[in-house]
Chain A
């Protein structure tokens, strides 16, 4: 049972490049979340999903897109990366809409 797996773990992008972060869960959870965490700050919700085929905006959705075509996967896309998107990205899934978790191990993204 792998839980929540994020791919990749590390990535360096040049400004303007695009990439997709993958979050995969094997617990049949309905709810999935993408957060970003900057140094010394709390987690900020980017987008979330309450079920397959659904997505919704969080606190800081600008510059990101998401898709939930399959229940087990939640993809986070950066169409044109900017240095301000340098951050650690955490994905989470949940069986309940009242609690987030487990979380993945994080993706450390640097945009230069």
Chain B
């Protein structure tokens, strides 16, 4: 299973774009990349998933370079309510979903 590495914490201000990068150097051909958001005292919530290039939904974009050894979650114009822990997962058909340490994002006024 591919191991992921993310920054432990990041700070931002309201209205800024936030980019969180995850490194997964030993990603396998059939692995997908998924990002989750977790608020205190709640379970994680799915944000976005991708395999290659760029994926966009109503809350975020996911950028994956051609070699797929990293991925970047982009949150446009963050607000205070985006303060949370963000996790990057690399998953395959085996179903064994391992979370990493996550990135604690703090958005300030």
Q: A residues near B, CB below 8 A?
A: 31, 33, 35, 41-45, 48, 50, 56, 58-59, 90, 92, 97-106
Contacts and interface: CB of A to CB of B under 8 A. Distances in A.
Contacts of A33: 97
B46 A101 contact: yes
Contact of A98 (B43, B44, B45, B93): B93
Interface of B: 32, 34, 36, 41-46, 49, 85, 87, 89, 91-102
Contacts of B99: 35, 42-45
B97 A100 contact: yes
A38 to B, nearest CB: 12
A92 B43 contact: yes
B96 A103 contact: no
